[in-house]
Amino acid sequence: MRCLLNGELTNNRTEDKTFKLFNETLNIKLDRGFPIITSKKIFFDKGYGEFEWIFNGHTDLEFLHARNIKWWDEFAKKGRLGKVYGYQVRNFGGTFDQVKYCINEIKNNSRRAVISLWNPTELKEQALPCCYTSFNFVRINDKLSMTMDFRSSDLFLGLPYDIIVGALVLLNVAEECGLKADTLGLNLKDAHIYESHKEAVLEYYKRPIYALPTLKGRELINYKSGKLIKVKLIK
């Protein structure tokens, strides 16, 4: 809501103006539940599918389509996405696996555990430049936290799914390192809401907020209206 109240209405590369704020920050404690929006419908299986797509180094549409994820289709060029998120995470510069690098750094208590998704030399080979540009891991004793830096963040539509991806990255890396996932920090350089989403955002803020669910393996257990709901994920 602050973005609508305090953000400046600005032009951008699309025809839809945005309400914009600069450098918004948010810290999410993962011990309070899995950070998923509860006041509107979120397709958790699609968020999990995008996480798998990125974390395992995929860049193809076929992997996404098999999980009923279509939002990348509009950016594809002749059916291809190029060197997007998964490529940068697992094959940076064509040779370097940043996940393996960070796991090793974290296990050695290093302060250099950073995954960069912004490679200026390959921007022309990407259907869409990465909206979040880095993961930075910080170990404090037996706890692991991670920040996500965003060059651009669509607060209403995109950010809820980006939070799912970020939380899953942190949980998986922490588990591999034998540590407890602690805090997911978000740094949103260009935080915005599209003018066309204004009415939907106002409606969203009228809705009740429910207790956060718990992630157990690949199953999201959500307490809503006193009922236990289990969401089975695609294997």
Q: What pLDDT score does 214 carry?
A: 87
Query: What does each C-alpha distance from 36 to 45, 46, 165, 220 come to in angstroms?
Result: 12, 12, 10, 10
Domains, the chain, in order of start with CATH, read: 22-194 (3.30.572.10)
Which among 25, 24, 18 has a CA at the least distance from the CA of 4? Answer: 18
Distance from C-alpha of 22 to C-alpha of 193, rounded to nearest angstrom: 12
Burial tier of 174 (Cβ tally within 10 Å: 0-12, 13-18, 19+): buried
Query: What does each C-alpha distance from 31 to 35, 135, 145, 212 come to in angstroms?
Result: 10, 20, 12, 10
Is 131 part of the annotated catalytic residue set?
A: yes
One-letter amino acid at 75 equals F
Distance from C-alpha of 205 to C-alpha of 39, rounded to nearest angstrom: 8
Q: What pLDDT score does 78 carry?
A: 84
Distance from C-alpha of 221 to C-alpha of 105, rounded to nearest angstrom: 33
Q: What pLDDT score does 133 carry?
A: 98
Question: Which residues have C-beta within 8 Å of that of residue 60, sequence separation ≥ 6?
Answer: 80, 81
Question: Which residues have C-beta within 8 Å of that of residue 195, sequence separation ≥ 6?
Answer: 9, 16, 17, 18, 19
pLDDT per residue of the chain (235 residues) written in tens, 0 to 9: 789 889 999 999 888 999 999 999 999 999 999 999 988 889 999 999 999 999 999 999 999 999 999 999 999 988 899 999 999 999 999 999 999 999 999 999 999 999 999 999 999 999 999 999 999 999 999 999 999 999 999 999 999 999 999 999 999 999 999 999 999 999 999 999 999 999 999 999 889 888 888 887 666 665 443 333 333 332 2
Helix (H, G, I), strand (E, B) or coil at 212: coil
Backbone angles phi, psi at 158, to 5 degrees: -85, -40
Q: What pLDDT score does 234 carry?
A: 27
Distance from C-alpha of 191 to C-alpha of 3, rounded to nearest angstrom: 8
Given the residues 3, 102, 130, 131, select the one marked as catalytic.
131
Q: What pLDDT score does 220 carry?
A: 65
Question: Contact, 117 vs 126, CB < 8 A?
Answer: no
CA 34, 208, 26, 174: dihedral to nearest 10 degrees?
0
What is the longest distance spanned by two Cα atoms in the chain?
52
Kindly give the interhelix angle for 159-177 and 44-55, rounded to the nearest 10 degrees.
60
Q: What pLDDT score does 223 carry?
A: 43
